Amino acid sequence: MVTDTQFFNSAITEAHLNMMISNEPASFFSMVTKMEDAIIRGYDGTPLQEYINRWNRVMVEHFRSKNIDLSKTRKAEWITVASGIIDMSAKCRYGFQRCELSGSVSKSCVSGLSAPDSGLSAISFASDFSARRSSTAQSNAAESICDTDSPSAKIPKLSVLDKKIIQSLYDRLDRSKMWRLSNGTIVEDKMKEVALGFEYEHPCHSLILDVNDACWSEVFESDEIEEIRSFRSVEMPVMSAEVESYIQALNTLNPSQLYAKVDSGVHDIASDSSWLQKSYRDAFRLLQSDFFPMESQTEGNVVKRVWSCLDSCFDFSTIKSVR
């Protein structure tokens, strides 16, 4: 839910009243400084530049109604506010505190492993990532030192403010706790170089490192990538005979045969075969309902519709899946 305009008006009115009581002249700078806590607290997960623009618009409207022109006053220092929003969002994302934000940042959940005494809140080795914008597209920065395939959905270039926030995010990391590889390479320094080279949003802007992304082969040596990949690696269990048999039976079928084979089976509800059958059926539905290509799908839609199979696969195990 987007932050209500009444929240903006109340915060602005209160800040202006306090300034009038103290005979302090109004300016964008003084207003934002006084409202800093409220602005951070009210962040709703919308793109940061859009959120800031809304505050500016409501401030202008408030003072215009009182015949006060702020256009020539000192500009607001938004970088401090943006840093505060990043700190709060990071705490939400990595589970350091309970968060009530309703936007994409607060709802995002990055699963990862902390590097040994790392300055990063977490470094994720998962291929998915949550970004500040709800777009599902990946970066298509042609000028970046770490290019990716062009996305099916269009996303805006990073603004000057976005880049300042990214710079601040890395600058505030504790160097004494950064991840130093056996050859002396500091992982966060390499990530920062890449992050500042992008023109479009990328996982590294959220302190996420996915070594499966081919671009990192241009940044790290092969032995460094292997060291990162093997850190606290989890050995995957061997596929059960039931699952292997089910998949092998489908491998050689054409689409129509595949659909008929999947739909014809009757399996115990708690069996792996039942879960596989449901997953295939859900996939068929997505393909036949024109869910793809994902030109207009939000990140929330993708998580809910495409990856729902990961939730149900734990239904009859000791592991519980919670979003």
- SS3 for 33? helix
* Alpha-carbon gap, residue 121 to 124, rounded angstroms: 10
Rounded Cα–Cα distance for residues 289 and 304 (Å): 15
Cβ(78)–Cβ(161) below 8 Å? yes
**What backbone phi and psi angles, to 5 degrees, belong to 50?**
-65, -40
The per-residue pLDDT for 108 is 32
Please tell me the predicted confidence (pLDDT) of residue 170.
94
Per-residue exposure over 161-198, b if at least 16 CB sit within 10 Å of its own CB, e if not: ebbebbeebbeebeeeebbbbeeebebbebbbebbbbb
pLDDT at residue number 223: 95
DSSP letter at 172 equals T
Q: Which of 37, 38, 33 is nearest to 19 (CA)?
A: 33
* 27 in Cβ contact with 74 (< 8 Å): yes
Dihedral class, residue 312 (left if φ above 0, else alpha if ψ from -120 to 50, else beta): alpha
pLDDT of residue 152: 43
Q: How far apart are CA 104 and CA 112, in angstroms?
A: 18
Short-list 152, 164, 186, 207, CA closest to 77: 164
Q: Identify the pLDDT of residue 307.
A: 86
pLDDT at 155: 61
CA distances from 174 to 15, 24, 171, 189 (A): 34, 38, 8, 12
Q: Give the model's pLDDT for residue 160.
A: 86
What does pTM read for this prediction? 0.43
CA dihedral 241, 244, 248, 250 (to 10 degrees): 110
Measure the CA dihedral 302/307/311/316, to 10°: 150
* C-alpha torsion sign, points 145, 131, 220, 212: negative
Q: Tens-of-pLDDT digits for all 323 residues of the chain?
A: 456 788 888 899 989 988 888 888 889 999 999 999 889 888 887 788 888 889 999 999 999 988 888 878 888 888 888 878 877 765 554 443 444 443 333 333 333 333 444 444 333 332 333 333 333 333 333 333 444 444 444 566 888 888 888 999 999 999 999 999 999 999 999 999 999 998 888 889 989 999 888 889 899 999 999 999 999 887 878 888 888 988 898 888 888 898 898 988 888 999 998 999 999 999 889 888 888 777 777 777 888 888 888 888 888 888 877 77
13 contact partners, CB below 8 Å, separation of at least 6: 62
Q: What is the pLDDT of residue 181?
A: 96
Cis peptide bond prior to 293, omega within 30° of 0: yes
**Residue 92: predicted pLDDT:** 56
